[in-house]
Amino acid sequence: MQKLYGTVVPMVTPLTENDEIDVESLKRLTDHCIDGGLQCLYPCGTTGEMMYLSAEERRLTAETVVRHAAGRVPVFVHVGAWNLKDTLELADHAVKIGADGIGVVTPAFYKLSDAAIEEYYVTIAKSIPEDFPMYLYGIPQNAVNDLSVDVCCAVSRRCPNVVGAKYSFPDMTRLQQLMTVRDGAFSVLVGPDHLFEAVVAVGGDGTVSGNAMCIPEHYAALWDALQKKDFVLATKLQRRTNILNAVMCENNNIAAYKVILKAEGVISTTRVRRPMENLTEEQERQLLQRMRELDYRVVPA
User: In sequence order, what are the beta bridge partners of 136?
Assistant: 104, 165
* pLDDT score for 229: 97
Mean pLDDT of 227-233: 97
* pLDDT score for 33: 98
State the pTM of this model. Answer: 0.97
Q: State how far the alpha carbon of 176 is from the alpha carbons of 74, 97, 171, in Å.
A: 25, 34, 9
* pLDDT score for 164: 98
Q: Using an 8 Å Cβ cutoff, are 231 and 31 in contact?
A: no
Taken in order 51, 56, 59, 64, is the CA torsion positive or negative? negative
pLDDT classification of 6: cutoffs 50, 70, 90 = very high
Per DSSP, the three-state class of 163 is strand
pLDDT tens-digit readout, 247-298:
999 999 999 999 999 999 999 999 999 999 999 999 999 999 999 999 999 9
Contacts of 194 (CB under 8 A, 6+ apart): 170, 238, 241, 242, 245
pLDDT tens-digit readout, 22-50:
999 999 999 999 999 999 999 999 999 99
* pLDDT score for 59: 98
Closest-CA residue to 57 (of 18, 110, 106, 3): 18
What counts of helices (H) and strands (E) characterise the chain? 12, 8
Average pLDDT, the chain: 98
pLDDT classification of 181: cutoffs 50, 70, 90 = very high
* pLDDT score for 119: 98
Mean pLDDT of 48-58: 98
* pLDDT score for 215: 98
* pLDDT score for 297: 95
* pLDDT score for 130: 97
Closest-CA residue to 227 (of 58, 89, 39, 67): 39
The secondary structure of residue 214, as a DSSP letter, is: T
pLDDT tens-digit readout, 114-165:
999 999 999 999 999 999 999 999 999 999 999 999 999 999 999 999 999 9
